[in-house]
Chains A and B, each alone.
Chain A
Amino acid sequence: MVTTSATAPLTPVLADDVAAYLKRRSRWSPLEVVFWIFAFASIWLFPDKYLILKDTAILALFALSLDLILGYAGIISLGQAAFFGIAGYFSGLVAKYGLINEPVIALVCSGVVAAALGFVTSFLVLRGSDLTRLMVTLGVSLMLGEVANRYASITGGADGLQGVDIAPVLGRWSFDLYGHNGYVYCLIVLFVCFVIARRIVYSPFGLSLRSLKGNALRAAAIGIPVKWRLVAIYTVSAGFAGIAGALLTQTTAFCSLDVFSLERSADLLLVLIIGGTGYLYGGLIGAVIYKFLQDWIATLTPQYWQFWIGLVLVVIVLVGRERVEGWIAAARGSVARLGDRLWTRIRPRSAALGGAADGD
């Protein structure tokens, strides 16, 4: 089943190695299990926080889409809002005109529309270096924003898309004022998308992405079709961003030009800077920190909250996440050492054994 995608066939031994490696990597770690248990437990733990949790889940999915291209394929983008926005408007319009009434089907269709746009624009993005990519992706989302503004008779222009009426999910669960069903819906969609993303990055395909992120020239030399790999992941990422955008429209029954804004794409980079790239959870953790920090500070000081957010971001970047991780590792080490020392005092006889075993 695990054959690599490189054109040159691998020797059976190496193929087995790769398969074993991927299998090892793709196993769910206990920490991950705890993360998701806690995520779903939040439905019962924080009943008065559904609205912000819902926004967080959407932002997390959106950040996940950027992580797929930035963290795994090294494509830096300021234009994810293009996909977020087009799917947002698409899902709003199909609901408004009653073309697709069932939200889940509409969600999937919106994802497909965004992915299609991603496929088409991927060829622009593939040309050039990081800076070019930043500009091209930014340009695409600005253009779409302006198109939405221009065709106000369809999109509502700067007034936003009014009169969107979202039918109950699967004909059963309608979006309530308390945001309960909306949050559960978003969380489930986030989880499903996460599992898909996880499957992708731990597949041979995902491995080949990493190799071309490391050195595209070399990857090409060993037979990886660099261009098509990038097109594929960019398309998938666009689809994910689109699903996030459609979720926002469906749960708020509203869509405005703001979905295409530069701020939305820029926030996304911030989220990934906070959470870290290339391990899938970065976007999720970053989204939780960013949203709650923002909500908390903005409630304290509605006028000057941006200052404090800015300060926190500067500190995070200056201190560096690696260093924080270093502190955590160091703290964990010293706790372990303390444990060892205690252990030696309590059980002098097994001291030598325990110390030696935990020493490294």
Chain B
Amino acid sequence: MKLGNKRRYLLAAAGAAAMFATVGGARAQDVKIGFILPMTGQQQSTGKQEAAAAKLWMAQHGDTVAGKKVELIIRDDAAVPDNTKRIAQDLLVNEKVNFLAGFGITPAALAVAPLATQAKTPEIVTAAGTSIITEKSPYIARTSFTLAQSSVPMADWAAQNGIKKVVTMVSDYAPGHDAEDSFAKEFTAKGGQIPDHITFPLANPDFAPFLQRAADDKPDAIFVFVPSGQGGTFVKQFVEKGLDKAGIKIIGPGDVTDDDLLNNMGDPILGTITAHIYSADHNSPANKAFVAAFEKANNGMRPNFMAVGAYDGMHLMYAALEKTGGKTDGDSLIAAMKGMAWESPRGPISIDAETRDIIQNVYIRKVEKKNGQLYNVEFATIPNVKDPIKAGTIK
């Protein structure tokens, strides 16, 4: 009797296994894109923006490319790198995804790099912004940005516009260090002074004590980098400490005046100058269409630079599939991506054939009020900026 039962279970298990096997076989024709994003936890605004943009791309461009049906899978890693790694492994082994994409923070992107190499699967980084990421696997391409890309033009602008003394304040992890290093090197080379370098923890930051320290140095400006989503808190505490009234300016890469949060920061943020790769206010037909469609699909939520990263990531994957004629092996796909150029909502962009990193315009912007809403209004453009760290233009 017991044996009979066991045999029945075994049969059932074998049957189930056979069923999965056939289902797997049928799906092998399709293309799967696995987005791993922080949908919960501290970085959830990034996940929300990116998921919405990827879905918008699918809605606009259909789910068929080069004769293959595309399936989008979105998973939450809560920005915890060992989750990211497990989920990536699961997506590769069980879902047999053809692309891994997303990665809200640098450690998450780095944790997956060895897997991308091992599985020969393209890893499209659509959010994280540390320079070294693309060097960690030959299968990584990036559609977001690097921190140095915006920080170096920021330093040039500050040096040319009467800012002499700057205190840097950055989150204590790789992108923060990149931002600080590249800004500091360029700014001091141009004759600027940096009396203090302040770092604060990535998780649960309370900026108030650090702001006090910065204020004591009486700088002309504070150069700040915080990850997407923390800018609101920073500005709030900046104003509470009265630093805006003391005549200290905020400058930095555009993470701090994130489009997603900008409207809630209020008038004290007006006039803030940042250098960045995307503003929802960017004046081009492509961007106007993108912003309108994005807001319509998401209850009026404004897209930020994370959304455009994911949108361009989808573009890159679709274009690569088209170029390979539907071939899905990692080597062909990544080869197809090299040197690819197109018009993004942020302006013209391309994938560097050598480094697989993004080349794009960087804009100097000022926070202004338009129709009662706060926007980063672009007033100067530095065209076709390569990542300065990899290009060796600083150091």
Contact = CB atoms under 8 A, between A and B. Distances in A.
Contact of B76 (A178, A179, A258, A298): A298
B191 interface: no
B90 interface: yes
A253 interface: yes
Contacts of B118: 177
A50 B90 CA distance: 9
Interface in A299-327: 299, 302-303, 305-306
A254 B82 contact: yes
B106 A159 contact: yes
A252 B82 CA distance: 7
B175 to A, nearest CB: 9
A302 B107 contact: no
A255 B80 CA distance: 10
A157 interface: yes
A293 to B, nearest CB: 14
| Size class of the contact patch on chain B | 35 or more
A160 B81 contact: yes
B75 interface: yes
Q: Is the interface of B mostly helix, strand, loop or mixed?
A: helix
Q: Is the interface of A mostly helix, strand, loop or mixed?
A: helix
Contact of A256 (B17, B81, B86): B81
Contact of B20 (A48, A253, A298, A305): A48
Contacts of A50: 93
B40 A258 contact: no
B93 A159 contact: no
Interface centre among A48, A178, A256 (most CB of B within 10 A): A256
A356 interface: no
Contact of B93 (A149, A177, A252, A256): A177
Given A177-B118, A303-B48, A149 B172 contact: yes
A4 B106 CA distance: 56
A299 B40 CA distance: 13
Contacts of A254: 81-82, 85, 111
B82 A306 contact: no
Interface of A: 45, 47-48, 50-52, 55, 149, 152, 157-160, 162, 177-179, 248, 252-256, 258, 298-299, 302-303, 305-306
Question: What are the 4 tightest A-B residue pairs by CB atom distance, in nearest-first order?
Answer: A158-B173, A302-B76, A302-B39, A160-B107
14 contacts: A152-B172, A158-B171, A158-B174, A159-B106, A159-B173, A159-B174, A256-B82, A256-B107, A256-B111, A302-B74, A303-B40, A303-B44, A303-B76, A305-B76
Given A51-B90, A158-B201, 7 more contacts: A55-B86, A149-B172, A177-B92, A252-B85, A252-B111, A256-B107, A302-B37
Interface of B: 13, 17, 20, 37, 39-40, 44, 47-48, 51, 74-76, 80-82, 85-86, 89-90, 92-94, 106-107, 110-111, 114-115, 118-119, 171-174, 201-203
